[in-house]
């Protein structure tokens, strides 16, 4: 059993999964000193693409979209108001369109 646990840990670490850290990992790493005005040129997805991804996952009205750096990766942060008037915020990878995080504000 110890061998299986060790093997599983090695596989998770080699895949880039860190169990003790909650940092999100995106596909576009952004150097620390990158000016905000350069961020749109780094994104592979448009804000419209990010909205489509977010609305497919969480139907509702989009109230805000931001292109930003989070944990050194470029993401779109999309806020949606659901039909039941609760808010949800999705972090969308600006390179792949993958949903990296969903934060529900009830």
Please report, for the chain, the start and end positions of each structural domain, with discontinuous segments joined by +.
23-105
For position 53, what pLDDT does the model report? 98
Distances in Å between the Cα of 53 and the Cα atoms of 4, 48, 105, 106 are 37, 9, 19, 21
User: Domain 23-105, what architecture?
Assistant: Roll (3.10)
Size of the chain in residues? 106
User: Would strands 61-70 and 73-81 be described as parallel, antiparallel, or unpaired?
Assistant: antiparallel
| Nearest of 100, 49, 91, 102 to residue 68 by alpha carbon | 91
CA–CA separation, 29 and 94 (whole Å) = 10
For position 12, what pLDDT does the model report? 35
Q: What is the pTM of this model?
A: 0.76
- Identify the segments of the chain with pLDDT beneath 70: 1-23, 106
Query: Count of H helices and E strands in the chain?
Result: 3, 4
């Amino acid at each position: 059993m110890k061998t299986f646990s060790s093997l599983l840990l090695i596989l998770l670490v080699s895949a880039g999964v860190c169990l003790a850290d909650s940092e999100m990992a995106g596909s576009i790493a952004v150097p620390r000193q990158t000016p905000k005005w350069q961020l749109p040129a780094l994104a592979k997805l448009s804000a419209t693409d990010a909205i489509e991804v977010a609305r497919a996952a969480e139907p509702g009205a989009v109230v805000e979209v931001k292109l930003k750096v989070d944990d050194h990766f470029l993401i779109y942060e999309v806020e949606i108001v659901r039909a039941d008037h609760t808010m949800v915020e999705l972090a969308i990878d600006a390179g792949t369109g993958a949903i990296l995080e969903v934060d529900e504000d009830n």
